[in-house]
């Protein structure tokens, strides 16, 4: 059954931007669901770059095909606010941790969660992705195609992770070479990966550029790495993540230009005082014993910000916390179980019973479901 589900879903993933939905499967109860959206000869992302549209509405509208878009004059009709914080879908959700190009665990997890080959759930549940869709795993291309399709057809939502941000900013890292057509090598071992080319890079960038940094509703928040209330205001004032990042980079550079800070402290200023960096990568602090990780020497370590968080329940990823370790408090939960490094287990010959997992948190049930079918209560 899992094999047929995976086969069907992989076949279903389109290679073009135009997607057609099955209108017989939609369940629309909002009166706004019947508002006419006029098609255009531009794709949704092309129109967005020209300033003609904002993000597709999260409630009450099912696009007829991928070229449909929501004109700015219709925003008030749909209650959409065009910023880097978007409204989180109502109803029950399945919040998926960092995927990192691991398409097979993702498809298996969707099957165990009860989604069909088109991403529909019999109980009208919706998927939410915490970002870091790409890098390290074997097929970031297919993961991005799938999540883009699910989001643009209103079956899922996704926030921006630091790995997507690196690609948007054209910052090459040791593990995102796939986007530039380069192999991922670890101490001479080539990790098998699908590589991007000129035909799909623009589409990937277009999609990443539509992702919000945060999702919120009355009872729940979703962000990739850190919810820091003082910095959320800046997200509500723009929809351009690249401009916001660079604006703060320039400001911090000027502030530290004639300071007595050393290289490590200046790096920490850029990490902790830039809202885009802090919210997608989390706060960091200096350490006295450097260590090697992710391809370079580290003089900083991550701060467990959630220990002092006591606001609306927040689900996040990013931290790749091993199963069995503390991963939040009564108001927060990290859903990243480390599948991004599953390639290291496959390298050792393991084919099942992985210790590095992909998981989803079911909300409001607070049930954790894993890609190999295990589940447990939070």
Determine what percent of the chain falls in helix, strand and coil, rounding each to the nearest 5.
35, 20, 45
pLDDT at 134 over 90: yes
Percent of the chain with pLDDT over 70: 76
Task: Provide the pLDDT confidence category of residue 239 given band limits of 50, 70 and 90.
Answer: confident
pLDDT at 37 over 70: no
* Fold category of 2-15+38-239+305-377 in CATH: Purple Acid Phosphatase; chain A, domain 2 (3.60.21)
Q: What is the mean pLDDT of residues 226-238?
A: 91
- Three-class SS of residue 296? strand
* 80 pLDDT above the threshold of 90: no
What pLDDT does 74 receive?
Answer: 35
H-helix or E-strand spanning residue 110: helix 103-113
The predicted structure's pLDDT at residue 295 = 63
367 vs 376: CA distance, rounded Å: 6
- Domain ranges, ordered by start, for the chain: 2-15+38-239+305-377
Note the pLDDT tens digit of each residue in 278-335. 999 999 888 877 767 666 677 777 889 999 999 999 999 999 998 888 899 999 999 9
Report pLDDT for 294: 62
Pairing of strands 156-158, 126-129: parallel
Task: Report which of residues 64 and 137 the model is more confident about.
Answer: 137
Model pLDDT, residue 116: 87
Region of 338 please: left (phi>0), alpha (psi -120 to 50) or beta: left
**Which of 165, 176, 160, 253 shows the shortest CA–CA distance to 215?**
160
- ω into 364 cis (within 30 of 0): yes
Lowest mean pLDDT among 39-48, 214-223, 246-255: 39-48
Average pLDDT value for the chain: 80
Which pLDDT band holds residue 77 (cuts at 50, 70, 90)?
A: very low
Tokens of residue 120, six digits: 């529909």
């Amino acid at each position: 059954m899992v094999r047929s589900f995976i086969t069907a879903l992989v076949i279903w993933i389109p290679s073009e931007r135009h997607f057609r939905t099955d209108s017989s499967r939609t369940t629309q109860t909002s009166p706004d669901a019947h508002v006419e959206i006029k098609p255009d000869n531009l794709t949704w992302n092309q129109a967005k770059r020209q300033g003609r549209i904002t993000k597709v509405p999260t409630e009450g509208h099912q696009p007829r095909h991928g070229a449909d878009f929501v004109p700015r004059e219709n925003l008030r009709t749909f209650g959409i606010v065009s910023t880097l914080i978007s409204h989180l879908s109502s109803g029950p959700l399945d919040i998926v941790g960092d995927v990192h190009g691991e398409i097979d665990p993702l498809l298996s997890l969707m099957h165990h969660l009860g989604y069909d080959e088109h991403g529909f759930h019999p109980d009208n549940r919706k998927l939410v992705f915490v970002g870091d869709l790409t890098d390290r795993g074997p097929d970031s291309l297919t993961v991005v195609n799938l999540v883009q399709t699910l989001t643009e057809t209103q079956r899922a939502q996704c926030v921006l992770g630091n790995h997507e941000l690196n690609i948007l900013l054209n910052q090459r890292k040791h593990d995102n070479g796939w986007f530039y057509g380069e192999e991922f090598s670890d101490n001479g071992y080539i990790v098998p990966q699908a590589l991007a080319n000129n035909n799909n890079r623009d589409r990937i960038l277009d999609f990443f550029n539509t992702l919000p940094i945060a999702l919120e509703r009355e009872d729940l928040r979703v962000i990739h790495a850190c919810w820091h209330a003082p910095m959320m205001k800046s997200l509500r004032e723009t929809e351009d993540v690249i401009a916001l990042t660079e604006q703060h980079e320039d400001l911090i550079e000027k502030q530290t230009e004639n300071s007595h800070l050393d290289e490590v402290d200046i790096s920490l200023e850029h990490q902790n005082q830039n809202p885009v960096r802090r919210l997608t990568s989390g706060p960091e602090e200096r350490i006295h014993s450097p260590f090697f990780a992710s391809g370079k020497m580290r003089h900083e370590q991550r701060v467990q910000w959630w220990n002092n968080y006591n606001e609306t329940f927040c689900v996040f990823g990013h931290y790749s916390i091993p199963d069995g370790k503390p991963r939040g408090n009564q108001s927060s939960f990290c859903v990243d179980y480390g599948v991004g490094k599953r390639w290291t287990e496959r390298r050792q010959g393991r084919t099942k019973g992985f210790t590095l997992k992909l998981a989803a948190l079911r909300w409001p049930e607070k049930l954790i479901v894993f890609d190999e079918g295990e589940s447990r209560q939070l």
